[in-house]
Chains A and B, each alone.
Chain A
Amino acid sequence: MLEGISFILALLIGFLLVQAQDPVRNMQPRWAALLFDAALGAGIGMGLTSIIFLFLDVAGAASPAAIFAVDIILAGVLAWNWLRTRARNRARSVAEQTPHATTPGFRWTWLLATAFGIALLISWTRLVQMAIALPVGGWDAWALWNLRAKYLAGPRDSWRYAVSALLSNTHPDYPLLLSAFIARLWKAGGAVDTVAPIATGLAFFATLLALLVSAIALLRGAASAFLAGLVILSTTSLLTWAPAQYADIPVAFYYLGAIALVFLHASPTAAGGHWTLFWAGLCAGLAAWTKNEGIAFLACILAVFFILTLWQWRMGAALSRTGWLLAGATPGVLLTLWLKFFLAPASDPLVTQGISGLARLHEVNRYTEVAGAFFSNLLNLGSGLAHPVILLAILAVILRWQLEERYKLPALIATAALVLVFLSYCAVYLITPASVAWHVQTSFDRLILQVWPSALLVFFVQLRSVVDTVLPAVASKRAVPRKSPARAGKAS
C-alpha cells in the first residue's frame, strides 16, 4: 500500500514539475500533449525521486517518514504552483491558439487507433503474465540492479555495498538511478518484495510507448503516431525485454525523451521555449545516471547539438541553447562524476586496461564478428513479414519522405547523436578485453533496443505525414510557421 502511494507520488511529482514549464502547452492534439506530459513527467519523476532517495540514504536519513515527508512537500509545492499558474497559462494558451491548431485528421485514423489498441492489449497481457512468471526478472535484474537496490534499501551504511569493489562480478561502478528508485519504493513500503521492480520495469516500458506515440502525434499527427505505435509493438525483441527489469528500457526512454524534446523545441506551436531544451538536457543527464551507455549519449548529444547549432546559427545562439541543455543535464553529470571518481572508481577491465585495448583495433575478425552480430540482432528485432524494418520499408516506399524545413536541424542532430552513440557501442566491442563473441551475444540486442525507439521517432518525423498525403491543402498550411509574440525571440 505505502509502496504504491510512494510510486504514485513519484509520478505526480514529475508530472507537476513538467507542468511548471510545459514543453507542449499549446500543441495539438490535446490528448497527445497530455499523454506526452504524463509520460515525460513519469520518467523525470522516477529519476528525480530516485536521486533524492539516494541523498537521503547516503545522509543516513532514508526512513519511510523522511521519504514521504519530502514527497508530500514537493508534491504540495508543485501542486500549489500548478494551480497558481493554471489560470494564467490557460489565458495565454487561448491567446496563442492558431486558426489551424486542430489539424483535420486522416479518415481512417480511428482504424489505426483501434489496431494499436488491440496490439497493445494483446502484448501487454503477455508482458504482465511474463513479469508474474519471472518476478525476480532476468539475470542482470537480480544479479545487478535489484541486488544493489537491496543494499540501498538496507539498514545503516549498507548502501556502501552497492558500490563496493567486492562486487567485482556485478559492475559496482554502474549508475544507480534504477536501483535507487526500486530501493526507495522498498524503503517507503517497509519490505523488500518483487512488486516494486516489476512495476518499475513495466512503468518505464509504458512511458516509453506513450512518449513515442504522443511525440509523433504532436509532430506529425495522430495517424503517423499510431503507425509508429504499431511498428514498435511489432519489435518483438523489445517486448521480450520489457518485463526483464533491465535498465535498457529506462535508458531508451531517456534517449527518446531528449531527442523528442529537441524536435519539439523546433516546433512552431510548442511554447516551452528554452525550457524544452532544459528538459531535453535533464533526460540526457538521467540517461547517464541510468547506464554507462547513457554517458556516451550525453556526450554525443551535447557535442553534436553545439556543433550543428553553431553551423546553422551563430556562436551566441549555439552557446545559449547548449547552455540550457547542459543546465538540464547538470544533476546527471554531477552524480555520474561523483560515482565514477569518488564512490566507485572504475574497476571494469574495459576501462582499467587503458590504451592497451586500442591494439585490438587491428584485429580484423573483431570487425566481422561485430558486423555479423549487428545484422543477426537486427534480424531478430521482429519475425517474418511483420518485421519492423519491413513495416518501415512499406511506409517509406509508399508515403516517401517529407522533412519540414524547421525539423531539418533537429533531425540532423538526432541522427548524428544516435549514429555516434551506436558507433561508440561498436568501438567498445572492438576493444573489449572479454571475448567479443560472448560480449556481443549477451548485450548487442539490448544496445540496439536502446536506440530503436529514438530511431523510430526520427524516421516518422522525416516520413511524409499520412494527413499530408490525403489533404495537400492542410499540408501547405502546416508548413507555414506561426508567428506569435511568444515565439518571436526564439530564433535569436
Chain B
Amino acid sequence: MIRFENVGLRYGLGSEVLRDLNFAIDWHSFQFLTGPSGAGKTSLLRLMLLSLRPTRGLISMFDQDTATLSKDDRANLRRRIGIVFQDFRLLDHMTTYENVALPLRVLGKGESEYRAEVVELLQWVGLGERMEALPAILSGGEKQRAAIARAVIARPQLLLADEPTGNVDPNLGQRLLRLFIELNKSGTAVVIATHDIGLMDEYDARRLVLHEGRLHVYD
C-alpha cells in the first residue's frame, strides 16, 4: 500500500529529521508508530498523508509514485486516507454531525445521500446525542471520537492516527484502541502514532520505532 525507499526529510536548511527510511505498510495491516517526543512521528505521518514532500527518496502510495502526482491527484489519493489529529482539528463553526459529514461533502455527496450513514456512525461511536453540539462544548473524549468518525466516514483504505489517546484517560484510551482494532478488522490498514507504551502493550501489533531520525521495524 505504502512504500518508502531511502526517504529523507529536512525542514529548510536544517539537518535531516528523518533519514534513510525504508519500510512498507501493507494492505489491512495494523501497526504502532512510536518513538520519543520530537523523534519525527508527526512528520512521518504527514509524509504518508502527502502534506509534506520528502527532500530525497521515493514514496509510492497505492502503486503510484507520489513525486509525479499533480495537486489534484494528491487530493484524490488523500480521499483514500483517514487522518486523526492529536488536536482533533474539528471545525468550530460546524456541529459534530457536520464535521463528520465533511469528507462526504468534499466527495460531492448530497445530504440526503450521506445523512443516514453519518447518523449511524455517530451512534456507533456514542455521539448520537451530541450530533448538534458544536466542538466547543464537547469533552476531550467526545472530540476524539468525532475526529475518528470523520476520519473513517469515507471508508478510507488507510487510517493514520496521531497520538489518538494523548488527551484521554486510560479507560477511554483502551476503548479507542478497540475501535481502531475493529476498523482494522473491517479492512482498513491502521497506523497509530503513540508514545504510550501501555497502549501498545494492549495489542500485539507491528511496531515502527523512530529513533534519531531512523526507523526500526519490529514485526
The answer to whether A and B interact is no
Interface set of B (CB-CB < 8 Å, partner A): none
